[in-house]
Amino acid sequence: MVSISVIMSVYKEPINWLRESVGSILSQTFTDFEFIIILDNPKYEEGLLYLREIESKDNRIKLFLNSENLGLTRSLNVGLREANGKYIARMDADDISLLDRFQKQFDFMEKHSDIIVCGGGITRIGGRNDDTFYEPDPENIFLYFTYPNPYLSPFAHPTVLIRRNVLELYNIRYNEEFITAQDYGLWNELIFKGKFSNLDQILLKYRTSDSQVSKRKGVDQIINTEIIVLDHIKRWLDINNIKVNEEINPYFLVKFLKRDSVCKQYNLKITAMVYGLLMNRKYRFWYAFGVFIFHPALEVSLKLKIKLLAKKVLKR
């Protein structure tokens, strides 16, 4: 068994981007990995020629050709089925991993057996150039998973390293009902199975472009994320033996802050869930405004309240 199975789906990324991305994996200082590449576009001849060429030169590469376009979610599941590594590493065909990424993540996961997913920071390239770091503390990640903005993931998806035995034990895969936000759905499954963390270091150059799925399918992304946020809340309530006999909405959750002794110890988490639901398109400006005015005990800063209400006015 190899240490890491790297999973990448390729569609029609420019060949120079693809070469940079693949090269950044093959040049890693950590070398005990298999590189599973799924070509999800039978018509991408230039990409196919390149991938076959490098496959013939490096026996760590395992190339799979979809006979038809399956989409990113199903292609990633193809990769998961073929993986044999102790860990699963994600990589996108337009990003660039820093050369010591795998070594840093492997060392961290080997030292912290309670962590089941590890990500890291990114530096953006292509049109926007800045750095983003993600919360490293597992307790804070669990507490704030839907807060302050449920449309921001706890990870940069192409930076993650996941324990494969956890995926196998609970039969967890990407939800194929989601053609977007599939990563957010995966975190929703895994966060109740173990701890998340991020290295407080840049691990990857993340390319921003108009061709990204999140930009091309923005409405689908929002709808899917709203479904996942609600599912996350239902799972949390169920795990904490909180019976639900009515619609889950912000006012429903706020009631627990006053009447339920069990929930008082989870004040911040309930507040996070209220905020997460209010981000839903279903709840308009005056509804959100009313929640904040009539329930000032909600531990949301004035800055975040203004931010949410402004998004309601602008309809995101």
Per-residue pLDDT of the chain (316 residues; tens, 9 = 90+): 899 999 999 999 999 999 999 999 999 999 999 999 999 999 999 999 999 999 999 999 999 999 999 999 999 999 999 999 999 999 999 999 999 999 999 999 999 999 999 999 999 998 777 899 999 999 999 988 887 677 678 999 999 999 999 999 999 999 999 988 999 999 999 999 999 999 999 999 999 876 555 555 668 888 898 999 999 999 999 988 888 778 899 988 888 777 666 667 788 888 889 988 998 888 989 999 999 888 877 878 888 888 888 888 876 5
**Cis ω before 148 (30° cut-off from 0):** yes
| pTM listed for this prediction | 0.91
Q: Are 278 and 254 in contact (CB under 8 A)?
A: no
**Residue closest to 134 by CA, chosen among 113, 115, 160, 114:** 160
For the CA atoms of 183, 89, 128, 211, the dihedral, rounded to the nearest 10 degrees, stands at: -60
Lookup: tokens for 289 = 């405004």
Fold topology of 4-216? Spore Coat Polysaccharide Biosynthesis Protein SpsA; Chain A (3.90.550)
H/E run at residue 87 = strand 87-90
Question: How is the chain split into domains, by residue range?
Answer: 4-216, 240-314
